[in-house]
Amino acid sequence: MTVRVRFAPSPTGKLHVGNVRAALWNWLFARKSNGQFVLRIDDTDLERSTKAYEEAIKTDLAWLGLSYDETMRQSERFDRYDAAAEKLKSDGLLYPCYETPEELDRKRKLQRARGLPPVYDRSALKVTPEERDAFEAEGRRPHWRFKLSQKPASWNDLIRGETTVDTSSVSDPVLIREDGVYLYTLPSCVDDLDVNISHVMRGEDHVTNTGVQIEIFTALGAAAPQFAHHSLLIGSDGESLSKRFGSLSIEAMREAGLEPSAITSLLAKLGTADPVTAEPDLNRLADDFSFDRLGRAPARFDMAELEALNGRLLHEMSFADIADRLQSIGVSEALWNAVKGNLVRLQDANEWRDVVEEEIDPIIEDASLTTNAADLVPDGRLDDLSWTILTTALKEKTGVKGKKLFMPLRLALTGKASGPEMAALFPLIGAEKARARLRGKRA
């Protein structure tokens, strides 16, 4: 069996870490299995779906390195959904309901007041032709529900193990709204069948929906794919991420200067038994993927952890790895090697480029010490040993050592109390500029 999986975002908003984690795990499984990854654009809601969001989704996936082997758009497949709906209607499994939203709400409230679960009572099945004509005359249009078997639907979930949904405890799902718009459930089943999806991996909030869809697959005369329901992401405080998705969109993270490999490195391991490590190679992440390693407990997403991981990836990058990006912001190989160990985001290198190349206002904490240091700066081109030669000579001349020696020099030369090793920065600043700054001059 060829593994074929799909990622099915709706183009009604931006991709965020929650749905990208689902996309990533599907992609990793497909690549490990030499299978195929399908991008399905779920745009049946024509009013809310936009081409701009669709293009943004594709841009985000490309930036993350999640290439897809095939793409499809639900808005181009209404004829297939119509055919499936007609089959279900002719088989007596898709039936019209004329209740208004207000009437349904009153029913649910009454059921709760009686201590009953708010499950649809199937009263529409008892509507007579005369009553139906009366509803139509009022201007009512039906929504259409799928008639569940009211029996257990079971499957061997690749993450959860043996799983059962008792469809007698579930309302017959609405598949088509009053305005004729298809809801998610039926088109998803039709698409999975038409493009031979072998595995459906998605969040555990879809477990009940899977029980319903298994019955729809059966009604359409086909076997269901294999299912795997993964844990959901929560914030570091244990709360839902839903209210923060704007700031956790992939677009926002890209604009904030985070590396795509930091995002994929973290999301690939959140909710697994594996440690999170900085891994720039998606194929290696794919090699590590295993359903056996996926846990069922909610996984905590922490922006601080992502930023730390981003820094670790930068620290391990050679100049050659990102030469084009560094050259575009005027960062040389020597400067990159000097400062990369202190960066959290790539653009942080700009700050140190300016320290080295632009004028700064030196901070003079001990004028006597820094003036003596200026006199000891060697002539000519500075090299890797120049800092050690300078500080050794200054220590012998003044008797000052340790932090009292090094901090005044750092403040004068960089205007900052912390940063990269001065031995690497000092040659880049150069002798002339260093003397001027040590004497308190803007240089």
Could you tell me which of 218, 197, 256, 3 has the C-alpha nearest to residue 91? 218
Beta strands in 149-242 (DSSP E): 152-157, 161-166, 174-176, 199-203, 226-230, 233-235
Both tokens of 88, joined, read: 């279900």
Residues 6+ apart with CB under 8 A from 31: 37, 282, 283, 286
- How do residues 148-195 score in pLDDT, each as one tens digit? 999 999 999 999 999 999 999 999 999 999 999 999 999 999 999 999
Token pair belonging to 290: 């295993």
pLDDT at 246: 63
pLDDT for residue 244: 58
Q: 260-269 vs 51-64: helix axis angle to the nearest 10?
A: 80
What domains does the chain contain, in order, with CATH numbers?
Answer: 1-73+231-316 (3.40.50.620), 80-150+158-176 (3.90.800.10), 319-356 (no CATH), 359-438 (1.10.10)
**pLDDT for 1:** 80
With tokens 């004729």, the residue in question is 180
For residue 161, the tally of other CB atoms under 10 A from its CB is 8
pLDDT of residue 356: 97
Give the pLDDT confidence of 409-420 residue by residue, as tens digits. 999 999 999 999
Residue 236 has what pLDDT?
Answer: 84
- Per residue in 424-439, pLDDT (tens digit) is 999 999 999 999 999 9
Q: How far apart are CA 81 and CA 416, in angstroms?
A: 64
pTM of the model: 0.91
- Can you list the residues of the chain whose pLDDT is less than 50? none
